[in-house]
Chains A and B, each alone.
Chain A
Amino acid sequence: MDIFFQLLVNGLLLGGVYAIISLGLTLIFGVVRVVNFAHGEFLMVGMYLVYLMSIHLGVHPYVALVPVVIILFALGAFMQKVVIEPLLDAGEEIQIFATVGVSILLMNLALVVFGADVFRAHVTVGTGSLAVGPLSLVTGQIFTFVVAIILAILLHLFMHRTYLGRALRAVAQHRYAAMLMGVNVKSVYVVAFGLGTAFVGVAAGLLSPQYPVFPTVGTYFVLTAFVIVVLGGMGNLYGAVAGSLIIGVVDTMAGYYISPDLKEVVYFGVFLLILILRPSGLFGLGTD
């Protein structure tokens, strides 16, 4: 029974990691209606920045997180303004190709600048474990989970209690109607994209004590993030959180009770089942 609870805890904490990345992705999709295939590469960029700061400035990744979030917000806003905005009226496929292009560019740029090796910032805070009864929890993962919940709550408050948040939701619901109501849609898109990548910046800081960085690290997380976003309902924030927790738990349970190499088979199977029963994802259509 101990093992089951340990697996459950591991799964939920793993879900916390995915939640932050998925929140950013679903926000971008929900508001800007663009499938951002470069999302994982922004995570990679964030992790490299955190690594460089921790090596050259001696700051802990959790501290380096703050400037990285700001830089990534700016990068996301920049990408929206320069890459996506000119293509807003083109077909969706064109926008997708543009984000794939950015993804390839960033991955290979990292390969050129940093090489293919793995780099890890060695820190003591965030890597220790906490014993709670018979269970063993990693402090860094607990912290990530807590931050994920806080971010989800903050995002909810932002979306429902501030003008900008309401404007984002309006644009997500109906772009032209929002324009008619006086919302500057282009600015809203820039904010949404920037916010989405800023979330990935938070994830980068929180993941750095745990995972090494290398040019393709983004691809390890982003596929699962896409699954989670579709599972939870694209654009739905609660869906992203719920989906992350479900996938995290299915991942660890399947890894133990079935086989580590069949984990993906199981969670993709669960994913397919849920989509067959509820095609628009767990929490319904696009908006929250």
Chain B
Amino acid sequence: MKYRKLVFALAASVLATTATAATVKIGALYPFSGGLALLGQESFRGLELAVNERNAAGGINGDKIEIVKVDAVDPNQAVSGAKQLVADKVAAIFGSYASGLAYAASPVAELAGVPYFELGATAHKITTRGYKYLFRSNPNTETFGDAVVSALDKTIAPGMGLDKKDVRIGIIHEDGPYGTDVAATEEKRAKALGYTVVQKLPYSAKSVDLSSLILRLKGDKANVVLQTSYQNDTVLYFRQAKEANFNPTVVIGAGGGYSLVDTAKAVGSDINGVFNLDFPQISINPKGAPGLEKFLAEYKSTYNGTPQSGHSLANYVGAKAFLDAMAKAGSLDKDKIRDAVLAYQVPVGQTANGWGFKFDKDGQNVASSLYLMQWQDGDLKTIAPKDLSQAQPVFKK
């Protein structure tokens, strides 16, 4: 341990003396390998594109931005990675895609007084610890739960001709922090709006059998199913629901497996008509998202392909905003950065994914939101908000 610190101190001092005149170092803490690598890598690309764009326009107040990448495969590595970045004297840490990683790494940054900009992790508890230098650009699990129930209440139930008193909601979720948080808010909000929640059932994401759970939903005549799940359990649910002849009128997912094309392919045609709430996808209407087409063009020329999910876009939009705030701060002092971020405001509809920016005292951006989507013909189409939608919802009665 001591040896490692010595090596880093030496490396840092060498870097400091040999670095070109004006660079600002920022840390990128993401899972670049391991099970989360697919979307960790995708998320990082959003940050990288934002940094490239900023550098091409002169950097932060004339200083070029340099990214220091650190791999965080699991929470332990996230902690040691954050320590590494702090020792490397980065001006700020950007990350981290997964809630477990963000939750573990952010205390390290907070203790060291290094601003931590979260661009993708959703667990609500990340920003409820009273930290001063932790900021998040994306919506959290509390927003997720609210968004799902609001969509049901405002758009889906009326569209399906379902009266509030006839709605029987079954909430099923994977039992990790993601599923538990979202489901808790879904239940709270649904009850507050006067809906009947007949079941709230957690299950392990590693289940190979959900038949009992489905029997309970069926037995309680749930006609609206709200699921929060990853890929495998989503596929499992749809297959076993079909096998048990369980056909709820409405199924709404909350991101996770519900947003991925591979899940849809594995489920098959039963996915059509299913609703989902998640971060903006790249297929949103560019009219409501100025800068989206520029982002897609930059992505194509840098990585020779198209984004696999909405993660890179979310990270790009968030990173751009934070880099902007850092520039406005006029200094790398943590308190000046904090003031600049808290004062930073952008109206909704002016960024590449339509998000606005307004931070509350916990550092959470309250002007970011989740969009309502529906699977139609094996494709995930955005239904709402109106300026960003590219399809009408299909209500199969």
Contacts and interface: CB of A to CB of B under 8 A. Distances in A.
Contact of B175 (A118, A251, A261): A261
B23 interface: no
Given A115-B38, A118-B266, A138-B243, A214 B215 contact: no
B212 A256 contact: yes
Interface string A120-156: 1010000101000000101000000000000000000
B210 A260 contact: yes
Given A210-B239, A221-B208, A122 B232 contact: no
Interface in A64-94: none
Given A136-B244, A212-B235, A256-B212, A3 B206 contact: no
Interface string B205-226: 0111111110110010000000
B35 A116 contact: yes
A268 interface: no
Nearest to A131: B245
Given A10-B211, A136-B245, A256-B216, A118 B35 contact: no
Nearest to B266: A120
Interface in A191-221: 210-212, 214-217, 219-221
B13 interface: no
Contacts, number: 99
In terms of DSSP, what is the predominant structure of the interface of chain B? helix
B370 to A, nearest CB: 23
Contact of A211 (B35, B201, B208, B211): B208
B359 to A, nearest CB: 33
Contacts of A17: 208
Contact of A136 (B35, B232, B243): B243
Contacts of B219: 3
Contacts of A252: 209, 211-212
24 contacts: A10-B212, A118-B235, A118-B262, A118-B266, A119-B262, A119-B265, A120-B266, A136-B245, A212-B231, A214-B231, A216-B35, A224-B208, A253-B212, A255-B211, A255-B213, A256-B213, A259-B201, A259-B202, A260-B204, A260-B216, A261-B201, A263-B204, A263-B212, A264-B204
| Top 7 A-B residue pairs of the complex, sorted by shortest distance between their CB atoms | A255-B212, A120-B266, A256-B212, A260-B203, A261-B202, A117-B262, A260-B213
Given A7-B211, A260-B203, A261-B202, 4 more contacts: A7-B212, A220-B206, A260-B216, A261-B175
